[in-house]
Structure 1
Amino acid sequence: MGCLESRQEISSKFNEVAHAYDQQRRKLIPCFDDFYDTAVSLADVSASSPHILDLGAGTGLFSSMLLRRYPKAKFTLIDLSPKMLEIAKSRFHESADVTYLVEDYTNFAAPGKFDLIISALSIHHLSDTGKRTIYRNAYANLKPGGILINADQVLGATPFIESLYTNNWKSKVEASGLARDELDSAYERTRLDRMSALETQINWLKEIGFSDADCVYKNFNFVVMFGRKRSGG
């Protein structure tokens, strides 16, 4: 599948599930609270009204959590799915300074503008080349000292470990109370996944120039990655 067709399919699949996405997410992410709490805790910036870029923002869930921490923040939410961003607009109403962009975030450029760049459960849909491009652009788009937080899913380091991840997730979501059609839809969306190994991605961040690149949280294949742009970068 080519890049354009892949992005069109991602947009289509997430448009279909937009109305129920937030209700399902807690059940589809068995470690939901720890996963997001860790990501929010890492978003420690000195600005009282930070500029925050949310890549693959979806319904704005991650950004809404950061809004509680930084009520004066200025957000830019980018997503391929217009219906997902419609949910985000209804979530924020007029209570926040938010810009919505319905577009492919892969080549988004606003050099040196953001204090914080975040992403949740989106970058794993990209090829290895796409991921590296995202990380390079994120480094360029951050202010010196700015932070990147990617809360995402990663590929198991070996086929055996990957099977452990997959089987654990399926056993938990099957017991979550989701209806059969909701489960089938979730399994169908996993066809869009193009996960990469955690160690590989941390190494990319280091090569690009991020300091303190690390995995701060891990629960099977759910991870929270962190990187900081050098103050002189």
Structure 2
Amino acid sequence: MTLFEQQWQTFRKVLNHDVMEHRAVADATAVALRDWCDQRGDWRTSVALVDLGCGDLAHLAPLFRSLPLRSYTGIDLAASVLPLAERQMGAARFPCHWRCGDLLDWAVAQSEQPVDLIHSAFAIHHLSDSDKGRFLEGARRRVADDGLLVWTDVFQEEDESRDDYLKRYVARVQQWPGLSGEQRDAVIDHLKRCDWPARRGWIESVAADCGWTMTWAWRGQHRAEALALLRPVRP
């Protein structure tokens, strides 16, 4: 078994126990996207969706199939999850495209054709603070003026240091069921090396500077997981 497969197996155990409230945030995402489609005036098949860090779509494929999409593009840095996502999506009525790639590279790339909807779940927190700014600036250029960025992730409290955030998150991980000691240690090691969650107030300010209006559509009970909706400020 490869290192990736070991990490993915551990992650699947975490998802199965829903310790990161994936079901609740999936429900909140469904409400937000359906409201947004309603506000656009009708349910015509017109929405181009790019899903950054799509993962295996275990929770969101039924929602995406129900939306009035003209295309879906799933992008993930781990090529191994893309066949899983394609199977979850199944026989969608719109074309689906699958790409192995980096979400920041996609955001900063030049493109003349804007997309209507960008979705990203539990991926942007891996970027440094400066790269989060680059991502938001680039994504603003790549989304239509009436578009939407749906951002699910973990976030720090505004007055909280990263060390304090990690201490309380590691304490949560120690209580997660279904993991061996080795798997729990692997999760904690990943958190400490790779997780750089944004502070709430700070990222609101950065988003505004990059041309977004940012609102919180859902917050989890652990003061970490949250769903943010970013709408472009009209030029």
AA in 1 matched with 2:202 = T
CA apart distance, 1:169? 6.2
CA apart distance, 1:106? 0.8
1:52-131 alignment, distance < 5 Å: 52-61=49-58, 63-70=60-67, 72-95=69-92, 97-108=95-106, 109=109, 110-131=111-132
Decide which of 210, 223, 229 is 2:226's aligned counterpart.
223
- How far apart, in 2, do the equivalents of 1:183 and 1:28 lie? 15
Given that 2:158 and 2:202 are in contact with CA atoms closer than 8 Å, whether structure 1 keeps it comes out as no
What CA deviation, in whole Å up to 9, does each residue of 1:105-155 have, x standing for no partner?
213133452111010000000011211111112111111210111100112
Higher mean Cα deviation, 99-108 or 169-178? 169-178
The DSSP-based 3-state class of the residue aligned with 1:78 is strand
What CA deviation, in whole Å up to 9, does each residue of 1:74-111 have, x standing for no partner?
21111111112222122223435211111112131334
Question: What is the CA RMSD across the aligned residues, in angstroms?
Answer: 2.8
CA apart distance, 1:162? 6.5
In the alignment, structure 1 residue 48 sits paired with structure 2 residue 29: no
Percent identity for Structure 1 against Structure 2: 18
Given that 1:155 and 1:195 are in contact with CA atoms closer than 8 Å, whether structure 2 keeps it comes out as yes
Given that 2:113 and 2:142 are in contact with CA atoms closer than 8 Å, whether structure 1 keeps it comes out as yes
The 3 A distance-change label for structure 1 pair 13 and 139 is: farther
1:117-156 alignment, distance < 5 Å: 117-156=118-157
Given that 2:25 and 2:227 are in contact with CA atoms closer than 8 Å, whether structure 1 keeps it comes out as yes
AA in 2 matched with 1:176 = P
Decide which of 15, 31, 56 is 1:25's aligned counterpart.
15
TM-score, normalized by length of structure 2?
0.79
TM-score, normalized by length of structure 1?
0.80
- How far apart, in 1, do the equivalents of 2:73 and 2:229 lie? 20
Gaps of 5+ in 2: none
Aligned length: 220
Gaps of 5+ in 1: 1-11
CA apart distance, 1:48? 3.2
